[in-house]
Amino acid sequence: MTHQPPPQEYARKQTGPLSEAAFTLLVQGVLDYGIFMLDPQGYVISWNAGAERIKGYSAAEILGRHFSVFYPTEDKEAGKPQWELETAVADGRLEDEGWRLRADGSRFWANVVITALWGENGELRGFGKVTRDMSERRAAQHALSERRRLFDHLVQAQETERRRIAWDVHDDSIQAMVAVGMRLELLAERVPESCAAELERLEASVRGAINRLRNLTFRLNPPGIDRHGLIEGLSNHLDDVVGAWGLTRSFEHRLDKEPTPETAITVFRIVQEALLNVRKHAHATAVTLRVESADGGILTRVIDDGTGAPMSRDVVHEHFGIIEMRERAETAGGWWSMRSEPGTGTTVEFWVPSPEPTPPLTDDLP
Amino acid sequence: MTARPSGDSTGSPWRVILCDDNPMLLEALCEVVTAQPDLEVVGTALNADQAIALARRHEPDLVVLDVRFPGGGHFVAKEIARCSPDSRVVAFSAYGDKGSVDEMRNAGVAEYVLKGATNREFLAALRRVASP
Ligand SMILES: Nc1ncnc2c1ncn2[C@@H]1O[C@H](COP(=O)(O)OP(=O)(O)OP(=O)(O)O)[C@@H](O)[C@H]1O
Ligand SMILES: [Mg+2]
């Protein structure tokens, strides 16, 4: 046990008066935490320096606005802001970690605590909300974790499998069908005209199938990413594939560093799927691809000028494109979203972290 | 347009070597080319060594070369340019992506024909290259 000062002396120091004004100053000045209040309906009624730093709104900009502006579209659509308030009312407190939006639309990984505030007569006075920006800690954890290694492994395994299938189709099915097509054409020149027409139809359908198989192998194993890096891979993809669809395309990029192969593949595969959707659904005339370094990762946008049709709630056909894009981004530790406004086109936007390469496994199990 | 009955200025057919690692395709290719009076197949190769040896021995007018060829299409094209400089090479490939096309062009290939083109298109490319 250590020697303790006499209790009375200690107590006198501790109870030094802290006026309400001083306390307000303290809260206002804290930079590491966003601390602010909501009224019972969820409108922002106070704001501090930390909230401004983390979320990018000045007090003048945000006071009086509903706190759901901090949530990504998909969370808003799912009713998460309201649900969080209701939970805080029911349980007294709610804690959550997830993506939130800054004023400029970019995302950060937030730790959020919402506390219900009650008046003396038990009426709901509003909510206290404390927000921390955990983006850096999350990125650091993610980069080191076993999860990252698994993710890299998964991406590579899937690519290897796809490459194998693509080469099998290329080396066997396509070559055999090309041979068949050539022989059919040769035959058509040698038989009486009555049969020739039928042979030509056969030959045309064989050529159609060859083209489809060629596109399939291309989709499975797009040439370029592994050899020349992300930007050139995307650029070639735009030229080879999107160019052939007759879409005007533009490509803007600003990358600080080349990502790991796994990150590059993740970005490429999501862009590929998004572009395929533009082709299949958008009726667009132009598509813009933007790739840039942001928040320690890569922010990508695929913007079309098509119909911007709201997502069809088609129950007959299953849609995997959107699910797969989102899963890829989230498994990589990032986020994915799609905005669509009728008449103005669709924007697919996603961010994935761009960590340093993981060191090779040394503690491999036998 | 009709095919000329004979190939080069002396009246003899253009001499062609065909290179593809798929035997079924190589055979079909051979039949298509053999059927042309102005073209003569002087050899077929299933791999790089065979292709280079044939090119050295025959110094053909034309070489039809698979791009995804064992030993590497672009490598074989460069070797042929070395050992038979007057031979003109036509790349024949199921892949038409920019990377593959550039790689073959850099190796000195004169034409790039996509597998799946009609025989007529394929033969037209051969004739274009043979008499530029
Ligand atoms: N760029 C776009 N423009 C307009 N509508 C789009 C666009 N992208 C997606 N959609 C809509 O969203 C739906 C779901 O897309 P998703 O990629 O999940 O499925 P899909 O393309 O129909 O099928 P698949 O499983 O083959 O990808 C589409 O059916 C389409 O209605
Ligand atoms: Mg789709």
Q: Cβ-count burial of A280 within 10 angstroms (0-12 exposed, 13-18 middle, 19+ buried)?
A: exposed
The predicted pLDDT at position B5 comes to 47
Q: How many CB atoms lie within 10 A of CB A46?
A: 19
Q: pLDDT tens across A182-197, in order?
A: 999 999 988 988 888 8
Q: Domain B14-130 has what CATH class?
A: alpha beta
Distance separating alpha carbons of residues B18 and A7, to the nearest angstrom: 101
Residue where the block lists tokens 């799609």: A338
| Domain-located, residue A363 | no
Number of domains composing chain A: 3
Domain ranges across chain B: 14-130
With both helix axes pointing from N to C terminus, report the angle between A175-190 and B119-130 in degrees, rounded to the nearest 10.
90
Of all protein residues, the one whose alpha carbon is nearest to atom 22 of ligand 1 is: A319
Contact call for residues A41 and A64 (beta carbons, < 8 A): no
The predicted pLDDT at position B3 comes to 44
Helix, strand and coil in chain B, % to nearest 5:
40, 25, 35
| Domain-located, residue A1 | no
> B14-19 and B39-45: which strand pairing?
parallel
Query: What is the arithmetic mean of pLDDT over A298-316?
Result: 79
Contact call for residues B89 and B113 (beta carbons, < 8 A): no
Question: Residue A183 C-alpha to ligand 2 middle, in angstroms?
Answer: 37
Residue ranges making up the domain that contains A49: 7-133
Query: What is the arithmetic mean of pLDDT over A283-311?
Result: 91
The predicted pLDDT at position B8 comes to 56
The predicted pLDDT at position A110 comes to 96
* End-to-end Cα spacing for chain B: 16
The predicted pLDDT at position A364 comes to 46
Q: pLDDT tens across A62-111, in order?
A: 999 999 999 998 899 899 999 999 999 999 999 999 999 999 989 999 99
Q: Which of B15, B90, B108 is nearest to B57 (CA)?
A: B15
Q: Which-ligand-closest: CA of A276? A: 2
Global pTM value: 0.75
pLDDT grade for A14, boundaries at 50, 70 and 90: low
**Domain boundary at A221, A249, A270, which?**
A221
| Domain-located, residue A165 | yes
SS (H, E, C) B65-87: EECCCCCCHHHHHHHHHHHCCCC
> B88-93 and B62-66: which strand pairing?
parallel
Of A277, A305, A318, the one to substitute when testing ligand 1's pocket (max ligand atoms within 8 A of C-beta) is A277
- Closest chain B residue to A172 measured between Cα atoms? B22
Q: Does A240 touch chain B (CB under 8 A)?
A: yes
Q: What ipTM did this prediction achieve?
A: 0.89
| Domain-located, residue A18 | yes
Residues A232 and A214 in one domain: no
Question: Residue A327 C-alpha to ligand 1 middle, in angstroms?
Answer: 15
Smallest CA–CA distance, residue B88 to chain A, in Å, is 22
CB contact under 8 A, B25 and A223: no
Higher-confidence residue: A290 or A11?
Answer: A290
Residues A313 and A352 in one domain: yes
CATH number for the domain harbouring residue A312: 3.30.565.10
Ligand 1 contact, A309 CB (< 6 A): yes
| Domain-located, residue A140 | no
CATH number for the domain harbouring residue A70: 3.30.450.20
3-state DSSP call for residue A113? strand
Residues A39 and A119 in one domain: yes
The predicted pLDDT at position B2 comes to 42
Residue where the block lists tokens 């489809």: A212
